[in-house]
């Protein structure tokens, strides 16, 4: 009886020890660097506490870079959700052969991972001044994209490029949700006299809404943090937050190291809020889709 | 009618995905005026900088997979076996790299591990490479952990462990000879995703000033006309191959189970 407690006491620390390598790694290479940035955003060069850096963000050039970033992220997330939803719905509910499903999902897996520098090149080769589509439209249809004010190194150019990884991500996330729509719901709705449009408006969309909105938040964060595609595509001609932060880390272009911390902190804040939204909405949507 | 609309949506969507890839391949083949040729690929493959950066990135990717798996597999195993209550928290931590942008993480590295700090990793080339591997492990943590954890869900961890222990196996033997073979397919899927991520990664390598494939691509894009498109095509083939291999190992394992 008396020798039961010692083994229990000996085992407790050993159990925790199994998690130590992971905890140490995460603390050193994920948490500590992030905390360094967050704390640095509220410090002067001498280490004293201040709100000056945060206040320093509210200048025209930095605010406008945040604004452009947010606009591009919202546009590419919204369009990504819309197109991805339509494609997934066509695949799941459109009465197409099931054999297209697996290749399409595999391709979505590839495309959602094909980001960064190569993606920017692919779009330069297509919609750039000498790109495949630009030239084809000009020679065959007489449409000069330049005349319509389209330029790949612009807001819309970047948005269209981001869609290449946004749409597949939406397809990958929303397909299980669409699979979860039960046939009985549709039948029950039509028994009660609902038209197809009414079924969508009053049954299917309200059920899917949390998933769609949650994915929107995820896509938003995804676009907001994208650095490589933007740099390879536009160089430094478009002032979005990741490009500005990249230049700041390389050469302190803002002339104040702690302003860089504050910019990075602003990025974490925005992607963090978007992701919390995603998690909350995801939990809501899982209530229905079991 | 409905089916026609569905086809129309899908085909339009696919056109959006296929056109950029076509444009990229077309450009990469048109280095010689008037005819299609593999000239751009020849130039790229002959470039010593290509070989250096490419093999550097392959090495980094393999190291990342090794270090990542050494951290993730025992952790996921241990959490499932001994501390199932902590699983949601550990999973949450592994998902954090999706929330915190890579550029912010590497910014933190540069400030935290500079030459005047306690752990001056950026002071030497070896240290910087090590930091880059750790950074890549961090980036791939969400994919690796989820893959391994999903694999562990399909096997009875507790029974296997007890069976191995009653036959006299230590923790190392259990992990290497009992758990790992059983979740090998998941480990491989995680490894292939990691490989694809590391090969194309730009931000961390550029800001840590390491000669990786991503920064080389960007540099070529800024200076050359046709070679970047050949490089982008190569990068796409790598991504495609990694995803194809995941499908292959998954399918292979399904056959394996059906046969029994």
Q: What's the CATH code of the domain at B178?
A: 1.10.3720.10
CA–CA gap between residue B207 and residue B251 (Å, rounded):
39
Which of A141-150, B34-43, B202-211, B214-223 is modeled with the greatest confidence?
B202-211
User: Which is more confident, A111 or B145?
Assistant: B145
CA–CA gap between residue A164 and residue B176 (Å, rounded):
40
- pLDDT score of A150 more than 80: no
CA–CA gap between residue B205 and residue B105 (Å, rounded):
12
Contact A110 B24 (CB under 8 A): no
- The pLDDT tens digits for A197-256 are 888 888 888 888 888 888 898 899 889 988 888 888 877 677 889 888 998 888 877 777
- pLDDT score of B55 more than 60: yes
CA–CA gap between residue A160 and residue A131 (Å, rounded):
14
pLDDT of A13: 64
pLDDT of B259: 43
Mutate to test the interface with A, among B202, B206, B213, B231 (most CBs of A within 10 A): B202
Inform me whether the C-beta atom of residue A40 falls under 8 Å from chain B C-beta atoms: yes
Q: So where are chain A's domains? A: 50-176+188-286
Instruction: Confirm whether B23 is domain-assigned.
Output: no
Tally A–B CB contacts below 8 A. Answer: 239
- The pLDDT tens digits for A19-77 are 899 999 999 999 999 999 999 899 887 878 888 888 888 888 889 889 999 999 999 99
pLDDT of B255: 54
C-beta of residue A110 within 8 angstroms of C-beta of residue B239: yes
Instruction: Confirm whether B212 is domain-assigned.
Output: yes
User: Which is more confident, A192 or A151?
Assistant: A192
Q: Which positions in chain B touch A267 (Cβ < 8 Å)?
A: 101, 103-104
Q: Which domain holds residue B181?
A: 30-259
Q: How many domains does chain B have?
A: 1
Instruction: Confirm whether B145 is domain-assigned.
Output: yes
Q: Does domain A50-176+188-286 have CATH number 3.50.40.10?
A: no
Instruction: Confirm whether B70 is domain-assigned.
Output: yes
Q: Which positions in chain A touch B88 (Cβ < 8 Å)?
A: none
ipTM of the complex: 0.88
- pLDDT score of A10 more than 70: no
> At a CB cut-off of 8 Å and minimum separation 6, what does B135 contact?
A29, B102, B105, B106, B109, B204, B208
- How many other CB atoms are there within 10 angstroms of residue A3's CB atom? 6
Nearest of A256, A245, A246, A258 to residue A40 by alpha carbon: A258
- pLDDT score of B105 more than 90: yes
Contact B23 A132 (CB under 8 A): yes
Give the SS3 label for residue A65: helix
C-beta of residue A223 within 8 angstroms of C-beta of residue A73: yes
Residue identified by tokens 């909350």 is A280
* Least confidently predicted of A135-149, B24-38, B172-186, B219-233: A135-149
Instruction: Confirm whether B11 is domain-assigned.
Output: no
Mutate to test the interface with B, among A18, A23, A108, A117 (most CBs of B within 10 A): A117
- pLDDT score of B214 more than 70: yes
pLDDT of A44: 83
- Which pLDDT band holds residue B257 (cuts at 50, 70, 90)? low
Instruction: Confirm whether B205 is domain-assigned.
Output: yes
Mean pLDDT of chain A: 84
Question: Considering Cα of B102, then B105, then B110, then B111, what sign does the dihedral take?
Answer: positive
CA–CA gap between residue A245 and residue A89 (Å, rounded):
38
- pLDDT score of A1 more than 60: no
Cα distances (angstroms) measured from residue A281 to each of A29, A53, A167, A185, B199: 29, 33, 19, 22, 33
pLDDT of B260: 41
Instruction: Confirm whether B238 is domain-assigned.
Output: yes
Instruction: Confirm whether B6 is domain-assigned.
Output: no
Give the nearest chain B residue to A102 (CA atoms): B247
Mean pLDDT of chain B: 88
pLDDT of A2: 45
Exposed/middle/buried for residue B214 (C-beta within 10 Å: 0-12, 13-18, 19+): buried
- pLDDT score of A173 more than 80: yes
Q: Which positions in chain A touch B96 (Cβ < 8 Å)?
A: 30
Mutate to test the interface with A, among B36, B100, B235 (most CBs of A within 10 A): B100
pLDDT of B118: 78
Mean pLDDT, residues A263-282 taken together: 88
- For B58-119, the DSSP string reads HHHHHHHHHHHHHHHHHHHHHHHHH-GGGHHHHHHHHHHHHHS-HHHHHHHHHHHSSTTSSS
Contact A90 B5 (CB under 8 A): yes
Contact A122 B21 (CB under 8 A): yes
pTM of the model: 0.87
């Amino acid at each position: 009886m008396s020798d039961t407690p010692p083994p229990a006491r000996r085992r407790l620390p050993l159990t925790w020890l199994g998690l130590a390598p992971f905890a140490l790694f995460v603390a050193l290479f994920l948490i500590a660097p992030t905390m360094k940035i967050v704390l640095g955003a509220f410090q002067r060069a001498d280490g004293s506490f201040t709100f000056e850096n945060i206040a320093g963000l509210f200048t025209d050039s930095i605010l406008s870079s945040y604004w452009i970033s947010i606009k591009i992220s919202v546009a590419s997330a919204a369009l990504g959700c819309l197109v991805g939803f339509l494609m997934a719905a066509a695949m799941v509910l459109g009465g197409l052969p099931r054999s297209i499903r697996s290749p399409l999902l595999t391709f979505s897996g590839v495309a959602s991972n094909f980001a960064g520098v190569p993606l920017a090149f692919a779009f330069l080769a297509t919609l750039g001044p000498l790109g495949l589509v630009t030239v084809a439209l000009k020679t065959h249809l007489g449409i000069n994209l330049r005349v319509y004010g389209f330029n790949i190194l612009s807001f819309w150019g970047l948005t269209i490029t981001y869609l290449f990884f946004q749409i597949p991500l939406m397809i990958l996330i929303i397909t299980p949700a669409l699979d979860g729509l039960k046939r009985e719901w549709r039948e029950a709705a039509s028994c009660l006299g609902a038209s197809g449009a009414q079924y969508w408006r009053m049954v299917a969309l309200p059920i899917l809404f949390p998933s769609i909105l949650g994915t929107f938040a995820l896509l938003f964060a995804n676009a907001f943090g994208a650095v490589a595609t933007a740099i390879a595509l536009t160089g430094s001609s478009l002032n979005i937050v990741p490009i500005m932060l990249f230049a700041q880390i390389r050469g302190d272009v803002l002339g104040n190291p702690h302003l860089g911390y504050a910019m990075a902190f602003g990025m974490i804040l925005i992607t963090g809020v978007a992701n919390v939204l995603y998690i909350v909405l995801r939990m809501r949507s899982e209530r229905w889709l079991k | 009618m409905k089916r026609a609309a569905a086809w129309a949506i899908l085909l339009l969507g696919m056109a959006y995905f296929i056109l950029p890839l076509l444009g990229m391949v077309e450009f990469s083949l048109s280095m010689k005026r008037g005819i299609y040729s593999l000239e751009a690929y020849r130039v790229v493959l002959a470039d010593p900088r290509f070989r250096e950066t490419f093999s550097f990135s392959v090495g980094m990717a393999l190291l990342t997979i090794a270090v990542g798996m050494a951290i993730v597999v025992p952790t996921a195993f241990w959490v499932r076996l001994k501390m199932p209550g902590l699983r949601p928290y550990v999973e949450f931590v592994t998902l954090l790299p999706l929330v915190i942008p890579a550029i912010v993480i590497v910014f933190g590295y540069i400030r935290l591990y500079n030459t005047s700090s306690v752990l001056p990793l950026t002071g030497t080339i070896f240290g910087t490479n090590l930091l880059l591997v750790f950074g890549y492990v961090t980036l791939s943590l969400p994919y690796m952990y989820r893959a391994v954890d999903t694999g562990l869900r399909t096997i009875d961890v507790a029974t296997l462990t007890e069976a191995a222990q009653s036959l006299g196996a230590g923790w190392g033997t259990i992990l290497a000879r009992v758990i790992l073979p059983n979740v090998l397919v998941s480990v491989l899927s995680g490894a292939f995703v990691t490989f694809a991520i590391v090969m194309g990664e730009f931000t961390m390598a550029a800001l840590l000033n390491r000669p990786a494939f991503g920064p080389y691509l960007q540099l070529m894009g800024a200076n050359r006309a046709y070679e970047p498109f050949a490089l982008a095509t190569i990068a796409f083939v790598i991504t495609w191959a990694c995803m194809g291999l995941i499908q292959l190992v998954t399918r292979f394992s399904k056959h394996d189970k059906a046969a029994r």
